[in-house]
Amino acid sequence: MSHRIIIVDDHPLFRSALRQTLEGAGNGFAFEEAGDIEGLLAVLEANRDCDLILLDLNMPGVRGFSGLLLLRAQFPEVPVMIVSAVEDPAVIRRCFDLGASGFLSKSESAARIRQSIDTVLGGGLWLPEDVTLARDAEESEQTEMLSRLGTLTPQQVRVLMMLSDGLMNKQIAYELSISEATVKAHVSAILQKLNVDSRTQAVIAASRIEQGQFEQLVESDG
């Protein structure tokens, strides 16, 4: 049976090039594409039966790891491989902490790209050759918060993203078409899961995970 793979990147030329690289192996994969996280969610909601998502970290509608967080919360059964120009080992390790099954550099050769896909489809993990999952003391401290972030529901991830953007409860309620009371309930749950006392602390905790990260993503993937 053919594997269904969804390529998610806001650059159509890159999506096309990656698709052609994989189709060139003659493996019979069935491909779909999305240009942003909302497009991907629409594709998955129409058909959850997907074998692998190839996800860029930096796209419209997401910041840093928020797209990966959202996917792992809403579709935990679907493996996700990050495809990115970022080469920072700490960033790569954070992706695995948040549930990624692989991290593929955009500069890899066609042969390595095909090998990475086969590895992850076979249930394995794929890392760049010069990266290990060993962490220093500072990264180890962040791992606990990453684990806490990973317990958020899809809607809680959305609310935290909007809190990080400075939106108030009324604005969040409007954007998500829910009541302010529901927003408050989500905020309370977020604070409890992240083990913090205020929405400001929640935003700070989330931003620390991505400190310096967003700017690097923009420079590398933009």
Per-residue pLDDT tens for 8-65? 999 999 999 999 988 876 677 899 999 998 899 899 989 989 999 999 988 777 767 8
C-alpha radius of gyration, the chain, whole number: 18
**99 near 144, Cβ under 8 Å?**
no
DSSP class of residue 167 equals -
> Can you list the domains of the chain with their CATH numbers?
4-134 (3.40.50.2300), 137-218 (1.10.10.10)
From 194, 192, 195, 183, select the one nearest 158 (Cα to Cα): 183
Residue 182: C-alpha distances to residues 23, 29, 148, 169, 179 (Å): 45, 42, 21, 9, 5
**81 near 102, Cβ under 8 Å?**
yes
Where the chain has pLDDT below 70, the residues are 1, 25-26, 63, 136-141, 208-222
- Helix/strand/coil for 56: coil
Q: Is the pTM higher than 0.85?
A: no
CA dihedral 105, 151, 138, 132 (to 10 degrees): -30
The CA distance from 133 to 106, in Å, is: 20
The CA distance from 185 to 42, in Å, is: 26
The CA distance from 110 to 22, in Å, is: 8
The CA distance from 143 to 149, in Å, is: 10
> Where are the strands (E) in the chain, listed by range?
4-8, 30-34, 52-55, 80-84, 102-105
The CA distance from 15 to 189, in Å, is: 37
- State the pairing for strand pair 4-8/80-84: unpaired
pLDDT of residue 215: 35
The CA distance from 23 to 45, in Å, is: 25
pLDDT of residue 221: 37
